[in-house]
A = this chain, B = another copy of it.
């Protein structure tokens, strides 16, 4: 015990995990910056402003036609996915549950403010230089944050909260630019963000993880597994993500049939994924036993892949097929690809985001491109086609086949931003100033969380006894 203690202290000298000043400083300074920028730029939009009463009467609307009632239930579901879904999915490690759910909370709360500004500047800037926010902006901010939380999944347990704040600041910035290019410039459609959120977030996190490769991570291998109850906690995250994914993919779709169809498509896609995940998990394990890691993660791949095409006429059987393939790809990824990437590509991916977000995101982008390219007036109706693909204004002469090409281009942009941005941000995060943990301190809540004496006593006692017996 004494030797271990002194060794740990030595590491702490090498790797200073003290964030005593840096973390408070970053939080206070950035939050103050947010206040100033919000003061300069941020205003209510016409549906959340007190003048709406007059506007409503003028436009002969009823109260229920306020966008709030179209989107608020979906918004709350998305909100649950961001904080409980992502947060609890990352509690699976035996001694990093605080870090999983707690740092997720921190960076999501910061990220959404910065996202409101960044997305506002690109998409919602008024003639008078003000950003007008309403419920749709809140959903988009949550979406934007999701990209960074995905990236956190690859880095879970290996970075300091200050690094995460930096990761989020740059991640949100990159996201907003990438999204503007994909959605507004290229005019690709991506309702559920297969490309914009999952492909970008996945490869962003993987590139950062590659830059931060730790050759001696095995030193903390004792903490890299789960325990029984931490796996049950993670199932809370899995299920809330799974259940609310239809809301995620439909939240910012067109009112009416758009939201309706996106919810149905995602629901079907996810159902199908569960069965093939179970099948593959059982097939590759001794005695056909199931692996909790697959159930926790691969069951969600269908939701990712349904993102881009959620609003399209994917057809119920098409959804089942997409889900079918994603369950297989994602589970095989956990079995073969993750160990391969760690060993040969020097990418350490704690949560397996390559299998859950990156690959299914690319699949989703491809499915979206194919579905868009094969859209026809027979299936959509003329107005339906215009409405679904937004063939309006300067894109009013576009046809489905070119739209398919634009979708593919969007996917490439997401990949480039993810990989390129990740390498740059990873380089920044390698600076020795961020308070990241030593290799044998990874995956350990003790590093950044106040010791609960009772816990330490009881656990260390138990381990001592176990070692003796």
Main secondary structure of the interface of A (DSSP, over half): helix
Residues of B within 8 A of A289 (CB): 447-451
A20 touching B232 in the complex, CB below 8 Å, given contacts A98-B292, A261-B49: no
**Contacts known (A239-B87, A324-B35, A448-B289); A263 close to B49, Cβ less than 8 A:** no
Are the CB atoms of A112 and B271 closer together than 8 Å?
yes
A276–B27 contact, CB under 8 A? Answer: yes
Q: Does A225 contact B (CB under 8 A)?
A: yes
Is the CB of A31 closer than 8 A to any CB of chain B? yes
Task: Count A interface residues, CB 8 Å.
Answer: 153
**B52 contacts A256, CB within 8 Å?**
yes
User: Of A197-205, A241-249, A416-424, which stretch is located at the interface?
Assistant: A241-249
Q: Which of A102-110, A188-196, A356-364, A400-408 contacts B (4 or more CB under 8 A)?
A: A102-110
Q: Is A144 at the interface (CB under 8 A from chain B)?
A: no
Identity of the chain B residue whose Cβ is nearest the Cβ of A29 in the assembled complex:
B279
Contacting pair A54 B263 (CB below 8 A): no
A178 interface residue (CB < 8 Å to B): no
A317, B31: Cα distance in complex, Å? 11
Most buried by B among A69, A260, A324, A379: A260
Contact of A449 among B135, B290, B453 (CB under 8 A): B290
CB A150 to nearest CB in B, in angstroms, measures 18
Which residues from chain B contact A465 at a C-beta distance below 8 Å? 461, 465-466, 469
Which of B256, B264, B280 is close to A63, meaning CB atoms less than 8 Å apart? B256
Which of A233, A282, A292 is packed against the most chain B CB atoms within 10 Å?
A282
What sequence of 0s and 1s flags, for each residue 246-278 of chain A, a beta carbon within 8 Å of any chain B beta carbon? 110000000111011101100110111111101
> Which of A36-44, A208-216, A341-349 lies at the binding interface?
A36-44
Within 8 A of B (CB), among A111-146: 112-113, 133-135, 138
A291 CB–B CB distance under 8 Å: yes
A17 adjacent to chain B (CB < 8 Å): yes
Contact for A450 among B23, B106, B267, B285, CB less than 8 A: B285
Q: Is the pair B316, A109 in contact by a Cβ cutoff of 8 Å?
A: no
Count of identical protomers in the assembly: 3
A169-177, A366-374, A382-390, A425-433 - the one binding chain B: A382-390
B227, A275: Cβ atoms closer than 8 Å? no
- Kindly list chain B residues whose C-beta atoms are within 8 Å of the C-beta of A351: none
In A1-25, the 8 Å CB interface with B consists of 17-25
Chain B hits for A63, CB < 8 A: 65, 70, 255-256
A68 lies within 8 A of chain B by Cβ: yes
Flag if B31 contacts A272 (CB, 8 Å): yes
Asked if A434 is at the interface (CB within 8 A of a chain B CB), the reply is no
Q: Contact: B260 with A48, CB < 8 Å?
A: yes
Closest to A52 in B: B257
Q: Cβ of A229 < 8 Å from any Cβ of B?
A: yes
Contact assessment for A227 and B452 in the assembled complex, using a CB-CB cutoff below 8 Å: yes
Contacts of A392 in B (CB 8 A): none
Say yes or no: B227 contacts A261, CB within 8 Å: no
Given A20-B282, A225-B453, 13 other A-B residues pairs in contact with their CB atoms under 8 A: A17-B287, A24-B282, A38-B316, A50-B388, A53-B384, A56-B256, A72-B74, A76-B244, A79-B243, A88-B236, A226-B452, A285-B450, A289-B450
Please name 14 pairs of A and B residues whose Cβ atoms are closer than 8 Å in the assembled complex, sorted by A: A22-B288, A35-B272, A47-B256, A50-B388, A51-B257, A53-B384, A54-B381, A62-B65, A66-B259, A76-B244, A84-B243, A98-B292, A133-B316, A232-B233
